[in-house]
Amino acid sequence: MNDKITSGLYNRRLKSLVLSTIAADFRIIFDRDPAARNWLEVIFCYPGLQALLFHRFAHWLYNVGIPLLPRLISHLARFFTGIEIHPGAQIGKGVFIDHGMGVVVGETAIIGDSCLIYQGVTLGGTGKESGKRHPTLGENVVVGAGAKVLGNLQIGNEVRIGAGSVVLRDVPSDCTVVGIPGRIVYRSGVRVDPLAHGKLPDSEATVIRTLVDRIESLEQQLQTLQQQQSETYSLATSALPLAVQDGKDDDGDCCHLEDKAIQEFFNGAGI
């Protein structure tokens, strides 16, 4: 009798957990996507939600130890949604895969609650090593379109990974990662809208701008020294015959093409 009561309680708790997880996956879409208008549209037209429903069933079968069928369900989900999630991956509740085409999630990947993943994202490995070989994402992580997170990495809570970035190292919480390879930009204590991808910092552009400003400063110092040297030279040669004063400086336009190329780069990159 006790075994039956315990089994019944376990089944009810499991059912409640499954329903609450699916409900969280459903609600988060309305919070994160302004294009979501009604529940019918979300159920039938959002491949991210459909892929998660397929995965949660396949993941349960995978944990039970049923062979082949979980991978077959994963393969069917990939065919219908364009999203490939290995049945072994652990995904928290309230996860939203927006658009989703081309998303790949590896076998030992772990995705925390309320993460936002865009199309073309790969949570993959770096080789044929066994054991934990895929990344672990904390809670409220945003992974931009086309980003790659490779290896057994620890990505902290509230991390934003910029579109097209390639992350190869651990990332602490409350940071933004941009570039190839991904560079960490600390933003601790600043609450950022997860959908505000236009506010991602451009660390490479900042460094280039700083270097160019430094070069301009050095060029001004050099020009000042050259003027002082020229004035000294003019005083020294003013008493010489005119035949000696025929030299001409033709270096004034030597860097014209280089300056033009730099300016065009600034205009195109928006630095």
Please indicate, yes or no, whether residues 9 and 84 belong to a single structural domain of this protein. Answer: yes
In a domain, 238, yes or no: no
In a domain, 242, yes or no: no
pLDDT-flagged residues of the chain (< 70): 1-16, 186-207, 235-271
In a domain, 155, yes or no: yes
Residue type, 176: T
Residue 237 has a pLDDT of: 65
Q: What is the 3-state secondary structure (H, E, C) of 233-265?
A: HHHHHCCCCHHHCCCCCCCCCCCHHHHHHHHHH
Please indicate, yes or no, whether residues 35 and 10 belong to a single structural domain of this protein. Answer: yes
> Distances from the Cα of 5 to the Cαs of 2, 8, 15, 124, 226, in angstroms?
5, 5, 15, 42, 93
Q: What is the CATH number of the domain that holds 40?
A: 2.160.10.10
Please indicate, yes or no, whether residues 71 and 48 belong to a single structural domain of this protein. Answer: yes
Please indicate, yes or no, whether residues 83 and 18 belong to a single structural domain of this protein. Answer: yes
Total number of domains in the chain: 2
Please indicate, yes or no, whether residues 106 and 30 belong to a single structural domain of this protein. Answer: yes
CA 157 to chain centre: 14
In a domain, 184, yes or no: yes
In a domain, 157, yes or no: yes
Helix intervals (H) in the chain: 2-32, 39-45, 47-64, 69-81, 203-237, 256-269
Kindly provide the b/e burial profile for residues 53-85, where b requires at least 16 CB atoms within 10 angstroms of the residue's own CB.
Answer: bbbbbbbebbeeeeeeebeebbeebbeebbbbb
In a domain, 11, yes or no: yes
- In degrees and rounded to multiples of 5, residue 25 shows phi and psi of -60, -35
Please indicate, yes or no, whether residues 129 and 223 belong to a single structural domain of this protein. Answer: no
Residue 11 has a pLDDT of: 57
Residue 4's SS3 state is: helix
Please indicate, yes or no, whether residues 160 and 218 belong to a single structural domain of this protein. Answer: no
- What span, in angstroms and rounded, lies between the C-alpha atoms of 155 and 172? 6
Question: In this structure, are residues 112 and 89 in contact, taking their beta carbons and an 8 Å threshold?
Answer: no
Please indicate, yes or no, whether residues 155 and 210 belong to a single structural domain of this protein. Answer: no
What is the DSSP-derived secondary structure letter of residue 171? B
Domain extent for 215: 202-232+255-271
Please give the model's pTM, rounded to 2 decimal places.
0.69
Please indicate, yes or no, whether residues 42 and 167 belong to a single structural domain of this protein. Answer: yes
In a domain, 26, yes or no: yes
Please indicate, yes or no, whether residues 150 and 188 belong to a single structural domain of this protein. Answer: yes
Residue 69 has a pLDDT of: 95
Please indicate, yes or no, whether residues 95 and 193 belong to a single structural domain of this protein. Answer: yes
Looking at 199, 216, 245, the residue that finishes a domain is 199
In a domain, 245, yes or no: no
Residue 270 has a pLDDT of: 46
Please indicate, yes or no, whether residues 114 and 209 belong to a single structural domain of this protein. Answer: no
